[in-house]
Structure 1
Amino acid sequence: MPMLRLRVTGSDDDVRAISNLLTSLDGIEHIEEVDDLMPHMDDDDSSSAGLPDDQGPGQHSLEIDAPNLATANRVRDAVEALAFDLDVLVEFDTEDN
């Protein structure tokens, strides 16, 4: 069963839209947003606090269990199309079992 991992650079609303799309696809039963394992060392009193580089969209990680490779490919195609429409960045990391 292939597991797809997505990293989405966008707002909470963008991630919610992608999750809603994924739940509407046949064969997808499990979608989970996972925590970022890398700590972000942003201090409120840092000399770089509030710079424009720190004010961008958030990053979110999703894991999706697909029953087979064909469904995993449909997920990829659907998410790529929606990401283009939403103007967000999506990175795919697949694990083939």
Structure 2
Amino acid sequence: MPQLRIRITGGEDDARAIGNLLTGVRGIEHVEEISDMMSHMDDPDSSSAGLPDDQGPGIHVLEVEAPNDATAARVREVVEALAFDLEVVVEFESDEAE
């Protein structure tokens, strides 16, 4: 069962729109936003310590389980189309579970 991770560089509304789209794709039963796995390396002595981190778009990661390769390809297709419309960047990472 293919598992996709979709990294979205955009706002929360954009990530929510993509997640909502994915729940409507036939065959997709699991869509979950997962936490950012990178720890934020804030240096307490840095000149930027304590400054808000909301100057640029956020990064959101969605995890999607597809029942087969054809559905995974459909997920990529619809997400790329919506990302183009929303003017956000998406990156795909896949894990083939056996």
For 2:76, give the aligned amino acid: R
Cα distance between partner residues in 2 of 1:34 and 1:91: 15
Shift of 1:40: 1.4
Partner of 2:59: 59
Shift of 1:96: 1.7
Cα distance between partner residues in 2 of 1:70 and 1:26: 11
For 2:86, give the aligned amino acid: L
Change in Cα spacing, 1:87 to 1:45, as seen in structure 2 (3 Å) is: farther
Q: How does 1:66-85 map to 2 (within 5 A)?
A: 66-85=66-85
Aligned length: 96
Change in Cα spacing, 1:46 to 1:54, as seen in structure 2 (3 Å) is: farther
For 1:28, give the aligned amino acid: I
Could you tell me the percent identity over the aligned residues?
66
Give the root-mean-square deviation of aligned CA atoms.
2.2
Cα distance between partner residues in 1 of 2:6 and 2:44: 29
TM (norm. structure 2) is 0.87
Partner of 2:36: 36
Change in Cα spacing, 1:44 to 1:55, as seen in structure 2 (3 Å) is: farther
Cα distance between partner residues in 2 of 1:43 and 1:7: 25
SS in 2 for 1:73: helix
Partner of 1:92: 92
TM (norm. structure 1) is 0.88
SS in 1 for 2:61: strand
Instruction: Name the structure where helix makes up a greater proportion of residues.
Output: 1
Shift of 1:41: 2.9
Cα distance between partner residues in 1 of 2:36 and 2:6: 12
Change in Cα spacing, 1:20 to 1:44, as seen in structure 2 (3 Å) is: farther
